[in-house]
């Protein structure tokens, strides 16, 4: 594990947060030694509130006393601070494409999950439209990053375990092998990768959590 003299890295997180997972994966790939602090989101620690006063959310990475919030921003910081095992593409155009999809890829998925009827149909149409485009980014590659996992794989990695859970709960399969062969293969490759496989939250526990959240939202609307 890489730890330069006097370097202190702490990650404030929560077991089910896909945003926290992004940071965990990046730290693993970069072989960075860090301290993990599991937050109780119903009773946030003073330290968390001090480090992220604007949003009071996880993840927060604290590096030598300096706090960085927002998962994608933390990924860029990690890439720039620890030069080995690069996760970003070198080419500025490929970087721009990766940055674009990091946020766009998930668009509509949450909406699909928490709505019903016409609203859900519209969200699903948007999700399928995006996945069709995202599928093309995998042509000729094992990962979005090429041979190795990169920034975009990490950013959209939550899809690999989140979408199957959404599909199970809503009883609707989005990423089928026929419709999205490359995405389907990527999900398997990503979730079984050495940097990811031991970090995934227990599936039953996560599924139960999402089920409850969805029920609560839908009940509130009706």
Partner 1 sequence: MTSEGNEIKLIGAWPSPFVMRVRIALNLKKLGYEMLEETFKKSELLLKSNPVYKKMPVLIHDGKPICESMIIVEYIDETWTSDGASILPSDSYDRAIARFWTAYIDNKIPDAISKLRPMVRGSVEAEAEAEKLVATLQVIEEAFEKCSKGQSFFGGNNIGYLDIALGSCLAWIKALEKMVEIKILIKEKIPGLVSWSERFCAHDAVREVMPETDKMVEFAKVLLSVMATTPAN
Residue 13 near residue 23 (C-beta atoms within 8 A): yes
- Distance separating alpha carbons of residues 220 and 114, to the nearest angstrom: 11
Could you tell me the smallest distance in angstroms from the CB atom of residue 203 to partner 1?
30
Q: Nearer to partner 1 by C-beta: 7 or 70? A: 70
Give the C-alpha separation, 98 to 144, whole Å: 8
Phi then psi for 132, rounded to 5 degrees? -60, -40
Binding-residue pattern over the window 118 to 157 for partner 1, x denoting contact by CB under 8 A: -----------xx--x------------------------
Binding residue for partner 1, selected from 24, 26, 76, 190, defined by CB under 8 A: 76
- Distance in Å, CB of 23 to partner 1, minimum: 13
Using CB under 8 A as the binding rule, whether residue 70 contacts partner 1 is answered as yes
Q: Does 184 bind partner 1 (CB under 8 A)?
A: no
Least distance from partner 1 to the Cβ atom of residue 214, Å: 24
For partner 1, which is the closer residue by CB, 100 or 172? 100
- Separation CA 145–CA 151 (nearest Å): 7
Verify binding: residue 49, partner 1, rule CB under 8 A. Answer: no
d(CA 3, CA 54) in angstroms, rounded, equals: 29
CB of 68 to partner 1, least distance (A): 5
Q: Does 92 bind partner 1 (CB under 8 A)?
A: yes
Contacting residue, 1, 4, 54, 139, with partner 1 by CB under 8 A: 54
Pick from 2, 8, 50, 96 the residue near partner 1 by CB under 8 A.
Answer: 96
Q: Are 20 and 11 in contact (CB under 8 A)?
A: yes
C-alpha 7: how far from its chain's center?
A: 25
Q: Of residues 93, 171, 178, 220, which one binds partner 1 by CB under 8 A?
A: 93
Omega cis (within 30) before 183 = no
CA distances from 165 to 30, 56, 106, 120, 141 (A): 28, 27, 15, 16, 25
Residue with tokens 């990650």: 11
Give contact residues for partner 1 (rule: CB under 8 A).
54, 63, 66, 68-70, 73-74, 76-77, 80-81, 92-93, 95-97, 99-100, 103-104, 107, 129-130, 133
């Amino acid at each position: 594990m890489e730890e330069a003299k006097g370097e202190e890295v702490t990650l404030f997180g929560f077991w089910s947060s896909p945003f926290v997972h992004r940071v965990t994966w990046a730290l693993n790939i970069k072989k960075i030694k860090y301290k993990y602090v599991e937050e109780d989101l119903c009773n946030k620690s003073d330290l968390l509130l001090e480090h992220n006063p604007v949003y009071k959310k996880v993840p927060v990475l604290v590096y030598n006393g300096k706090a960085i919030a927002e998962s994608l921003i933390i990924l860029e910081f990690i890439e720039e601070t620890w030069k080995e095992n690069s996760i970003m593409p070198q080419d500025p155009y490929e970087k721009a494409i990766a940055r674009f999809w990091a946020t766009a890829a998930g668009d509509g998925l949450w909406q699909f999950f928490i709505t019903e009827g016409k609203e859900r149909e519209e969200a699903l149409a948007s999700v399928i439209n995006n996945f069709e485009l995202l599928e093309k980014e995998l042509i000729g590659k094992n990962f979005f990053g090429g041979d190795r996992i990169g920034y975009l794989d990490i950013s959209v990695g939550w899809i690999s375990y989140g979408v199957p859970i959404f599909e199970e709960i809503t009883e609707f399969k989005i990423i089928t092998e026929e419709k999205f062969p490359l995405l389907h293969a990527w999900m398997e490759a990503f979730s079984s990768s050495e940097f990811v496989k031991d970090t995934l939250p227990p599936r039953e526990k996560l599924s139960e959590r999402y089920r409850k959240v969805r029920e609560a939202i839908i009940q509130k609307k009706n």
